[in-house]
Amino acid sequence: MMSRYSRLFVIASLFYLLVGAMMGIFMASFPSLKGIIHFPHAHTMIIGWISMMIFGLAYHVIPRFSGSPLIAECFQKLHWWLANIGMMGMMIIPILQVLFYTQLPLLNILFFIFGLLQFLGILIFVVQILKALKFLNSPLSKPKACCNSCEGSPTQDQNTKFK
């Protein structure tokens, strides 16, 4: 069974897919407004839909495939909140930048803050996945034996017999 936040990442991904698709339809219906919607549409589809789906599935699959303990829910929760708050800002602020051009310096700072939240979430993800892959624990360590009969062998490559 998927963890709560793995499921929430997938659900958020599907939400962003719908929002991004609606933005695409809006751009096609009103070509004169394409310049306003294009940037948030791209962020919604790439960061919102694709990245959120990857985050949710990776949190579920990578620890299981690598034989690692599951990633702590507190990290997934923090990442989910950072990613979604950052994503909402990255969808809304570019539209506001066009509509309220006189407030551009403030809106640029806000966009940077929302982007920074997104980056912090991505940083949490990268560190947790590298830990699950056992890359951060000992990057120079040799892979573990694939089975009991391989234990004690100098390397897995030299053990060519299957029992």
The lowest-confidence range among 40-44, 45-49, 58-62, 66-70 is 66-70
Q: Return the HEC string of 27-92.
A: HHHCHHHHHHHHHHHHHHHHHHHHHHHHHHHHHHHHHHHHCCCCCCHHHHHHHHHHHHHHHHHHHH
Q: Tell me what the mean pLDDT of segment 34-59 comes to.
A: 95
Query: Residue 67, SS3?
Result: coil
The answer to whether the CB of 13 falls within 8 A of the CB of 52 is yes
Query: Rounded to an integer, what is the distance from CA 39 to the centroid of its chain?
Result: 19
Distances (CA, A) of 162 to 70, 122, 152, 156, 158: 30, 41, 15, 11, 12
pLDDT one-digit tens code per residue, 68-117? 888 999 999 999 999 999 999 999 999 999 889 889 999 999 999 999 99
Q: Where are the beta strands (DSSP E) in 46-163?
A: none
Query: Rounded to an integer, what is the distance from CA 120 to the centroid of its chain?
Result: 11
The answer to whether the CB of 73 falls within 8 A of the CB of 3 is yes
More confident site: 154 or 122 = 122
pLDDT one-digit tens code per residue, 114-152? 999 999 999 999 999 999 998 876 544 445 555 565 555
Whole-angstrom Cα distance, residue 57 to residue 60?
A: 5
**Torsion sign (Cα): 14, 16, 22, 25:** negative
**pLDDT recorded at residue 137:** 62
- 156 pLDDT more than 70: no
How open is the CA angle 29-35-39, to the nearest 5 degrees?
Answer: 105
**pLDDT recorded at residue 135:** 83
Confidence of residue 1 (pLDDT cuts 50, 70, 90): confident
